[in-house]
Amino acid sequence: MKKKLIVLVFTLLGFTFESGAQIFGDLGSNRVATTSFPFLKIGVGAREVGMAETGISTVNDANALFLNPSHITGLPNYSVSISQNQWFADISQTAFAGIIRFDNDWTYGLSLNYLTTAPMERRTTLQPRGTGEKFGFYDLAMGLTIARQMTAQFSFGVTGKFINERLAELNYNAYAIDLGMSYLMDNDLDGRLSITLMNFSGRFKPSGKATPPDTDAKTTFQDYNTPSTFQLGYQITPLKSEDQSLMLAFQLNHPNDNSENYSIGAEYEWAKMIYLRTGYKFNVVAQTVPSFGVGIRKSLILFDFQFDYGTSYIDPLGMSHRFTLSLYPITNGF
Whole-number pLDDT of residue 29: 57
Residue 203 has pLDDT above 80, yes or no: yes
SS (H, E, C) 242-295: CCEEEEEEEEEEEECCCCCEEEEEEEEEECCCEEEEEEEEECCCCCCCCEEEEE
231 conformational bin, left if phi > 0, alpha if psi -120 to 50, beta if neither: beta
Residue 191 falls within a domain, yes or no?
yes
pLDDT in tens, 81-123: 999 998 888 899 999 999 999 888 899 999 999 999 988 888 8
pLDDT in tens, 30-57: 677 788 999 999 999 999 999 999 999 9
Whole-number pLDDT of residue 30: 66
Number of domain units in the chain: 1
Q: How far apart are CA 2 and CA 244, in angstroms?
A: 35
Which one-letter DSSP state was computed for residue 65?
A: H
Q: Which helix (H) or strand (E) holds 10?
A: helix 2-24
Whole-number pLDDT of residue 8: 43
Which one-letter DSSP state was computed for residue 35?
A: B
What sign for the dihedral angle of Cα 65, 69, 71, 77? positive
Residue 18 falls within a domain, yes or no?
no
Residue 8 falls within a domain, yes or no?
no
Whole-number pLDDT of residue 19: 43
pLDDT band for position 214 (cuts 50, 70, 90): low
Residue 9 falls within a domain, yes or no?
no
Residue 71 has pLDDT above 90, yes or no: yes
Residue 327 has pLDDT above 90, yes or no: yes
Q: Which helix (H) or strand (E) holds 145?
A: strand 137-149
Cβ–Cβ < 8 Å for 9, 155: no
Q: How far apart are CA 163 and CA 44, in angstroms?
A: 16
Residues written for the chain: 334
Residue 298 falls within a domain, yes or no?
yes
Residues whose CB is less than 8 angstroms from the CB of residue 191 and which lie 6 or more positions away in sequence, other chains included: 184, 185, 234, 235, 236
- Calculate what percentage of the chain has a pLDDT beyond 90: 67
pTM of this structure = 0.88
Residue 1 falls within a domain, yes or no?
no
What sign for the dihedral angle of Cα 181, 99, 306, 304? negative
Residue 68 belongs to domain spanning: 28-120+134-329
Nearest to 232, CA basis, from 201, 263, 257, 259: 263
CATH classification at residue 40: 2.40.160.60
Residue 23 falls within a domain, yes or no?
no
pLDDT in tens, 236-272: 999 999 899 999 999 999 999 888 999 999 999 999 9
Residue 13 falls within a domain, yes or no?
no
Return the SS3 of 34.
coil
Considering 10-19, 143-152, 200-209, the range whose residues carry the highest mean pLDDT is 143-152
Cβ–Cβ < 8 Å for 97, 78: no
Q: How far apart are CA 41 and CA 258, in angstroms?
A: 11
